[in-house]
Amino acid sequence: MSAPVQAQPDSTEPGPGLFAVRPLDDLDRVLTVDPASKAAICEPDSDEPDQLIRMRPVRRVYNVLNLRTDQYLGYYSDGRTGWDDQLAEWQVVSVDGFGEGVYTIRVVALDGPSARVLTYLGSGMTGLRPAAAPGDPAYTAQLWKFERETGNRPYSGELDSPTGS
C-alpha cells in the first residue's frame, strides 16, 4: 500500500530551519509560547530570537520546537494547543493562492487528510479547529505565513544564491 499523496515530501514544504510563523489573519503577530501557562499563543512581533520556531522534518511530518522554552508544539483532545517536552507530529501543507510560504499546520491523520488544524482564534490565542474549506469564513484563520530566518531578521521569499541566479 502506498502512502497518501499529501504526505509525500516535496519542494513546497518549508523544510528544516528557523522560522517566524505568523497567522495570516494578523501578520504583526508570531506563534510562540506563553512561558507561564505553556499555551501556544501569537504575540506581537518584537524581532527577538526566542520568538522563532524550529521546524524539524521527521518521516514526512514535522516536530515544531519553540526557542523560548525549547519545547514542542502539542495539542489536547479538547482543542487546546500548548508546548511541552513530548514530541507531537504535524503535517505542514502548502496552500495556493496566498503567496509563497503559506501553510496549514495539521494534526497527523493516518487515514487521510486531518480534520483538525492549528487555528488563530484572535486576540493572540490559538487552538485546534475542524479544517475549513476554501471560501469558508474560518479558512484564513487556519493559514500560517512561514518566514525563514536568515541572519538577524526574518526572510520571506526565495533564497538568493551567491551568483545571483
- 149 phi and psi angles, rounded to 5 deg: -75, 125
Quote the pLDDT of residue 136.
96
Instruction: Name all domains of the chain by residue range, CATH numbers in brackets.
Output: 15-147 (2.80.10.50)
Partners of residue 20 on adjacent β-strands: 147
Rounded distance between C-alpha atoms, residue 84 and residue 33, angstroms: 10
Instruction: Inform me whether the pLDDT recorded for 7 exceeds 70.
Output: no
Render pLDDT for 29-73 as a digit per residue (tens, 0 to 9).
Answer: 999 999 999 999 999 999 999 999 999 999 889 999 999 999 999
Number of Cβ atoms within 10 Å of the Cβ of 82: 19
First to last CA, the chain: 40
Task: Report CA Rg, the chain.
Answer: 15
Render pLDDT for 111-145 as a digit per residue (tens, 0 to 9).
Answer: 877 789 999 999 999 999 999 999 999 999 999 99
Rounded distance between C-alpha atoms, residue 19 and residue 17, angstroms: 7
Number of Cβ atoms within 10 Å of the Cβ of 55: 21
* Range 84-99 average pLDDT: 95
